[in-house]
Structure 1
Amino acid sequence: MRPNERFDLNNLTPAQILSLGYLVIILIGAILLSLPIATASGKSMPFIDALFTATSATAVTGLIVENTSIFFSIFGQVVIMVLIQIGGLGIMTMSTLFAFLVGKKITLKERLIIQADLDQFQLSGLIRLVRYVLLVTFMIEGTGALILFTRLIQEYSLGKALYLSVFHAISAFNNAGFDLFGNSLEGFTGDITINLVITTLIILGGIGFAVIAELYSGKRKFKDYSLQTKLVLSVTAFLIVIGTVVFFFLEYSNPETMGGLSFGKKALASYFLSITPRTAGFNTVPTGALKSSTLFFVIILMFIGASPGSTGGGVKTTTFGALFAVVYAMVTGRSDVELFKRRLAKEVIFKALSIIMISLLLIVAVTMVLTITENMKFLDLFFETVSAFGTVGLSTGVTGELSVIGKLLITITMFAGRVGPLTLALAIGRKEETANIRYPEEKILVG
């Protein structure tokens, strides 16, 4: 929108409306969390902390300045859970659900916003996909909560076990990382049921709804899937396997994390740790006690993140796959960028490179400022920034010690990570315009 144009929702692009919509939800959540009724002590939470928490919940991140299980009342915890659900599914999915309930028709403008929110290629079938997203979400979360309940009922009362099961099923499927145990899942390091249920919810929430729909479409052979699904499944599986192996060897003898565990529990903890950095934020071993080499590898996984159209963040698995394909094509001297015997379009390559570059610039800028405003180790600040951008929620323990400026920077980074770096850039920039002039081509030396 140009400076001389009047503010009108009809003049806003889908990217601008999405960004504005998430901002409104965050502000409403911050106001609710700053109320005395939202805290266990009955005292109002500082607005900067409420804003930070609301952003973390809506951006399905999981970074916290106060212990969720102790600091917040049931009301505050429910507000956080609702924000997680809205943020995970997307504001347009929730708006469409409301439209379904009141019988309102979905306009073309709204369909365009839904398309941007769910990262879809075309308008056709969007409303059917939204219905599918809602149905699948509630089914998966319900199933996960039921299985968790059968385990937690062994240690908690009926009402408490049910509440914990629902909260953590929603938090896990939406890749949020908020917990009500006080120390994430460190008390369940060797618990197979808890580990497998939570990781399964994280994976399902992170591969994207369109991929889930295709997996249940009846196609039985991998070759019959679309390029999107093939790439998502391949990169996801690759990162899980590589992550498990790397973490197993790096932390095998670390006495503060896995050193005292049995071989089986070490493997389980490594598997969990390979999945949770992909925007989930739960941990079964102390994150702050991980070796520097392990933390750096976690940063790489957090930067990559989940998949498009999912509840997770990061630059996305497909962006990573496309960038890898570009490098492979250049190294092997191919004129086309190919994946699974399909050629990638030029605009897809440009978009992938733009996302990577914008994301790196944001992370570098925020980390640089944090090194000036905060008296903390560089690796801890770098880790915190990437965790916020990837909407992960893992922390080495410095979140609560951030200054007001630090909290604001991390809040902005979480917001950018949820909306998407490219979407946010398009929202801030001008509407797309077609150039009337095409300049002559000239080469430059690079590398």
Structure 2
Amino acid sequence: MAFVGIRSGLRWRVLKLSPPALLASFYLVLVVLGGVFLHLPFANTGGLTVMDTLFTSMSAVTVTGLTVVDTGGDYTLAGQAGILVLMQLGGLGLVTFAVFVLASLGVQLGLGQRLILREDLNQSSFGDLMQLVKTVFVVALGCEAVGAILLAIVFVPDHGWGPGLWAAVFHAVSAFNNAGFSLWSESLVDYATDPVVNIVVPMLFIIGGLGFVVLNDIRRKRSWRRFTLHSKIMLVMSLVLIFYGWATFAILEWTNPGTLGAYDDAVSRLVVSWFQAVTPRTAGFNTIDTGEIRDSTALMTMTLMLVGAGSTSTAGGIKVTTFAVLILATLAFFRRESELHLFRRSLGVDEVMKVLALTVVSMLIVLSAIFFVSITHDGSFLSLAFEICSAFGTVGLTMGATPELDTFGRLVVMTVMFLGRVGPLTLGFFIATHSAARVRYPPGRIFLG
């Protein structure tokens, strides 16, 4: 009887949690379970600490890709399979995955489950939730299957049938979920100029980063004029950021002997630049030694990592639409306009306030994390800032500082990875929840600037 009472009380407390708090709890439980699994003797080759496996689990669940050990060398096939499952659950959304299974079994979803699903998909309404969930799985599994087949064409001849096929599947799942985990310690450096890898892998994390709302829009409407404003902003801004990163990286690194300067012909340099332009958008793979990039390039990469990709996607960052609204709001201010106009649609003050809230919270998290990590680590400030931006954007690119961090530093990075993945969803709950003011005060005035 006592056990039943305790269980009932625990269930009541869980049900009283808000949807974002419950969602965050689900992710934390998955991280702990993943860390326990990866610490089992059959999952690793030995010598790993609890912190090592928890860090890997957190990185996989938040689809970040930062590592403190060698994924291919320190984890067995079972451990690598566990990381793949964690990436898939973290990328597609743990709750989304559970709801899809329940719906497939014919189980009706209650209001509570739909609330949690709405937060996991970063939606503000319940309309077309199940249709969006179906799109998530059809697109994800389809892209991963096609990507694995194409990558196998390259990996099987180099590594043999068994290892080659497994590498193709692992990297396809990692790429689509924007996780950045690789079975090789140097990531995809050996395939820096391979045409198949430089097409398939970027396409996977670009599609995964667009967001399932955009993909659902494309699948159902198939006409630019019928696309929603969100989809139009995402598609246009994604192209702008990709070409900006491509051109800027090529210009800054063209003569750097540690990166593009190592290649003799212009075509190879442009191919490598292309990959490095799209991977900071939370993908995390690299085909060069990131630690060799110039300071200016590092700053540009950090900016792209903080922006990230799309809402309801497998990516992190403040999101492309947030960045776009920030730019539009700035232009509108200097033009003395009270509304934002884009694609014959208008955005009011509410949207700007939401964007400001998300951006300010994100910057406070990043700056606080850099401060705390720098207290106990004496490494390069730029490399520390780079790792924190990578963690918050759930990217996984590294300049080599993460493996050198002490326990406190790793805990900070783990916290930032978690906030980078779950934080925007939690903040979205408050953004989508409106409350009317009961008391109105007379207007005041402050001086700005």
Amino acid at match of 2:331: Y
Q: Which runs of 5+ in 2 are unaligned?
A: 1-8
User: Could you tell me the percent identity over the aligned residues?
Assistant: 38
How many Å separate the matches in 1 of 2:270 and 2:385?
27
Amino acid at match of 2:134: R
Shift of 1:101: 4.4
Aligned residue in 1 for 2:97:
94
How many Å separate the matches in 1 of 2:45 and 2:14?
39
Once the two structures are overlaid, the 10-residue window that deviates more, 175-184 or 97-106, is 97-106
8 A contact 2:35–2:50 mirrored in 1: yes
* 1:341 paired to 2:357: no
Q: Secondary structure at the match of 2:261?
A: coil
Note the alpha carbon deviations across 1:25-63, whole angstroms, 9 max, x for none.
Answer: 11111111111221123x4x2111211111100000000
Amino acid at match of 2:227: Y
The 5 Å alignment of 1:218-233 reads 218-220=221-223, 222-233=224-235
In proportion to residue count, which structure has more helix? 2
Q: Which runs of 5+ in 1 are unaligned?
A: none
1:353 aligned to which of 350, 353, 356: 356
8 A contact 1:16–1:426 mirrored in 2: no
Shift of 1:155: 1.3
8 A contact 2:34–2:57 mirrored in 1: yes
Q: RMSD value over aligned CA atoms?
A: 1.8
2:396 aligned to which of 382, 385, 393: 393
Shift of 1:343: 1.1
Aligned residue in 2 for 1:288:
291
Note the alpha carbon deviations across 1:365-414, whole angstroms, 9 max, x for none.
Answer: 11011111111111011000010000000000111110000000000000
* 1:28 paired to 2:33: yes
* 1:444 paired to 2:446: yes
8 A contact 1:53–1:65 mirrored in 2: yes
How many Å separate the matches in 2 of 1:118 and 1:345?
23
8 A contact 2:191–2:197 mirrored in 1: yes
Shift of 1:131: 1.4
8 A contact 1:58–1:88 mirrored in 2: yes
Shift of 1:433: 5.1
Aligned residue in 2 for 1:80:
83
Once the two structures are overlaid, the 10-residue window that deviates more, 333-342 or 302-311, is 333-342
Aligned residue in 2 for 1:418:
421
421 and 134 in structure 1: CA distance in 2 versus 1, 3 angstrom threshold: closer
How many Å separate the matches in 2 of 1:443 and 1:338?
27
2:307 aligned to which of 299, 304, 309: 304
Amino acid at match of 2:288: V
228 and 432 in structure 1: CA distance in 2 versus 1, 3 angstrom threshold: closer
8 A contact 1:358–1:421 mirrored in 2: no
How many Å separate the matches in 2 of 1:439 and 1:342?
32
1:368 aligned to which of 367, 371, 378: 371
Amino acid at match of 2:165: L
Residues paired across the two proteins, number:
438
Once the two structures are overlaid, the 10-residue window that deviates more, 110-119 or 401-410, is 110-119
How many Å separate the matches in 1 of 2:124 and 2:407?
40
Q: Secondary structure at the match of 1:338?
A: strand
How many Å separate the matches in 1 of 2:257 and 2:237?
31
Structure 1-normalised TM-score? 0.95
Amino acid at match of 2:92: L
Structure 2-normalised TM-score? 0.94
Amino acid at match of 1:16: A
1:378 aligned to which of 376, 381, 404: 381
8 A contact 1:171–1:178 mirrored in 2: yes
Note the alpha carbon deviations across 1:89-135, whole angstroms, 9 max, x for none.
Answer: 00111111321344322111111111111122321211121112111
8 A contact 1:355–1:422 mirrored in 2: no
Aligned residue in 1 for 2:241:
239
